[in-house]
């Protein structure tokens, strides 16, 4: 029998979450973001789960080509654009839409011999300060692209730094929108501003925020960028990481658990050993008390996570034993809850799923 650790991908939840994105931004088309192997869910599963999206967005050029090979015929957006002059031909050959965020990328297009039309997303830096042209330089970049005969549509885009916190004290969403409108004034093209946070708060920003395209990522996978819970937004988990208890130890007061003896029992207790560790993608830095579910009962991690195993408190799960079902995150235990306890974010947990973990598909019996 194989090791009992299994990641179950819920395609039905992916479909549901895509519908929620449409509900939040009903007048916009949707780029479903499938970068990082569809946030650890698998590129092909992402394509099926978001089959009703208007387009798929990612950063890896090789995976954009793979989507075409898998049969995806709708638009594909390269969120970081092209990386080399040799990539320009891919845009025409595979009809890829490329973000443009540097003068070097513009020069690649100007110097290329394009055999057909291409569509582009011109990115403005409105305060994120990663990629893009500042508002005062945006018009000049747009003019250079517009002068290339093969350039067809130019969508104007930016990326919110703090869409999970609308009134962030350093940079509000509305201030980024104001900067965007200033830099895009008088320029023709569709607009794409909102990531998951912007989509989820679309109702609160409806009078100020106008999107022709939105770019939801983490919300499609049942997580949120921060603030309210996924359940509060009616988002369903798309990945359940589950295992079993493979050993049980009865401790007396003073006994310690795991490497470094970092956890010491204060009274008699029972611990279960779970077949899951940091080599499977579970965060090694998760502290004592990180929630784990055993036989449907919420309990907690004890001791240090090791490469292949972790220990959980079974004191209040008296009927648990070898073979008992364990949920590390997903159905019944939101991934954001685990991530918050571990001092990280749900994105990282999904993307860190290790290749050795068996992955299956299964519908989620979700009752709210």
**3-state DSSP assignment of residue 46:** helix
Q: Which of 35, 39, 123, 278 is catalytic?
A: 35
- Residue 130 annotated in ligand binding: yes
- Residue 124 annotated in ligand binding: no
29 flagged as catalytic: no
- The answer for residues whose C-beta is within 8 angstroms of residue 88's C-beta and 6 or more apart is 82, 108, 109, 112, 114
Cα distance between residue 57 and residue 157, in whole Å: 13
Q: Which of 29, 123, 259, 282 is catalytic?
A: 259
- Residue 292: φ, ψ to 5°: -140, 145
300 flagged as catalytic: no
Q: Which residues of 163-187 are buried (b: 16+ CB within 10 A; e: fewer)?
A: bbbbeeeebbbeebbebbeebbeee
Would you name the residues annotated as active-site residues? 35, 259
Binding site members for substrate:
130, 307
């Amino acid at each position: 029998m194989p090791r009992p650790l299994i990641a179950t991908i819920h395609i039905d939840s992916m479909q549901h979450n895509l519908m929620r994105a449409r509900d939040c931004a009903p007048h916009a088309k949707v780029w479903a973001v499938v970068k990082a192997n569809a946030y650890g869910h698998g590129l092909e599963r992402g394509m099926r789960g978001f089959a009703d999206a208007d387009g798929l967005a990612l950063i890896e050029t090789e995976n954009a080509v793979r989507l075409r090979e898998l049969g995806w015929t709708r638009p594909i957006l390269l969120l970081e654009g092209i990386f080399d002059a040799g990539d320009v031909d891919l845009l025409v050959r595979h009809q890829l839409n490329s973000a443009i965020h540097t003068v070097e990328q513009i020069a690649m297009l100007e110097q290329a011999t394009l055999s057909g039309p291409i569509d582009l997303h011109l990115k403005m830096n409105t305060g994120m300060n990663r990629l893009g042209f500042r508002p005062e330089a945006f018009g000049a970049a747009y003019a250079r692209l517009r002068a290339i005969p093969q350039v067809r549509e130019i969508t104007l885009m930016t990326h919110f730094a703090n869409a999970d916190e609308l009134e962030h004290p350093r940079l509000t969403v509305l201030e980024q929108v104001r900067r965007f409108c200033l830099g895009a004034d008088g320029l023709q093209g569709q607009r794409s501003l909102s990531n998951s946070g912007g989509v989820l708060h679309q109702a609160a920003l409806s009078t100020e925020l106008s999107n022709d395209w939105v770019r939801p990522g983490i919300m499609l996978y049942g997580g949120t960028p921060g603030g309210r819970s996924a359940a509060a937004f009616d988002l369903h988990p798309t990945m359940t990481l589950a295992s079993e208890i493979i050993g049980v130890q009865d401790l007396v007061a003073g006994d310690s658990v795991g490497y470094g003896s970092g956890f010491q029992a204060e009274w008699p207790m029972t611990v279960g050993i779970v077949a899951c560790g940091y080599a499977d993608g579970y965060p090694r830095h998760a502290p004592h008390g990180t929630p784990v579910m055993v036989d449907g009962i919420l309990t907690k991690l004890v001791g240090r996570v090791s490469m292949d195993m972790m220990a959980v408190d079974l004191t209040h799960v008296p009927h648990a034993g070898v073979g008992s079902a364990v949920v590390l995150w997903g159905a019944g235990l939101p991934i954001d809850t685990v991530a918050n306890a571990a001092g990280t974010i749900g994105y990282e947990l999904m993307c860190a799923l290790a290749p050795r973990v068996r992955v299956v598909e299964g519908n989620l019996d979700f009752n709210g």
